[in-house]
Amino acid sequence: MGTLKSAALRHNPAWGQLLGLCPLLAVSNSMVNALGMAAASSFVMLGSSFTISTIRAWIPHHVRLPCFVLVIATFTTCAVMLLEAFAFDLYLRIALFIQIIVSNCMILGRIEAFASRQPPGQALLDALGTAIGFACALLALGAVRESLGHGTLFAGMELLLGGAASEWQIDLLPEGRRLIVALLPPGAFIIAGLLLGTGQALARSDKTDHESRETGPDLREVEG
């Protein structure tokens, strides 16, 4: 349980370690894109963490990086194929970004720092925590950007979740009062910065946080 919590909160990939920012900023312009990216990243994160952890005894130390990248690339390719087969409209919108999950340093970082040194159970928990943390960051950013930029929330969810979700759309802002900059890359940086600042302020005010006194090696040092 500690592993899960630590990975999702203290070592939150986006807000704690500032990893994986490219996909985070690129596809968080709406909730449905964010959710698709979160699902694909989680799939790759869990699959490759578990696989690497299972075969870690057979990976020679000095060729570990090619092995990690090979496994990550395999799961990413599988994710792309699954998306193209079962959520084609979403595939057309975010496939280009799904493909670059391969180079997401969040995944490689967690595998190098954790999954390649721990048994599969622990590695799965850590991967789950990291995936949840990344998903929360994506969805938070997606919610803010979509509600400010498009004036809606949950628009187009049927692309991912099927017909029933087409009624989920909530209209918040009328046309003309929307903040287009929220949808553009600069807006992504500004909003991500504001969310990051808020998170840091909250974490700092919470002095009784036991997580900060957790023992064990600080994994952040390994990741550079």
Q: Which stretches of the chain bind other proteins, using CB under 8 A?
A: 26, 51, 55, 58-60, 62-63, 66-67, 70-71, 73-75, 77-78, 81-82, 84-86, 88, 91-93, 96-97, 99-100
Provide the minimum distance between the beta carbon of 16 and other proteins in the complex, in angstroms, as a whole number. 26
Cα-to-chain-centroid distance, residue 92: 20
133 vs 149, beta carbon nearer other proteins: 149
Cα-to-chain-centroid distance, residue 8: 10
* Rounded-to-5 percentages of helix, strand, coil across the chain: 75, 0, 25
62 vs 210, beta carbon nearer other proteins: 62
Provide the minimum distance between the beta carbon of 89 and other proteins in the complex, in angstroms, as a whole number. 9
CA–CA separation, 30 vs 36, rounded Å? 10
96 vs 194, beta carbon nearer other proteins: 96
Provide the minimum distance between the beta carbon of 97 and other proteins in the complex, in angstroms, as a whole number. 6
DSSP-derived pairing of the beta strands 152-153 and 170-171: antiparallel
2 vs 162, beta carbon nearer other proteins: 162
Provide the minimum distance between the beta carbon of 51 and other proteins in the complex, in angstroms, as a whole number. 8
CA–CA separation, 84 vs 95, rounded Å? 8
92 vs 170, beta carbon nearer other proteins: 92
Provide the minimum distance between the beta carbon of 145 and other proteins in the complex, in angstroms, as a whole number. 16
Pair of tokens at residue 40: 């694909």
Provide the minimum distance between the beta carbon of 127 and other proteins in the complex, in angstroms, as a whole number. 17
Q: What phi, psi does 104 have (nearest 5°)?
A: -70, 115
195-209 b/e (C-beta count within 10 Å ≥ 16 → b): beeebeeebeeeeee
- Name the residue with tokens 């979403």: 90
CA atoms within 13 A on the CB side of 64: 18
44 vs 132, beta carbon nearer other proteins: 44
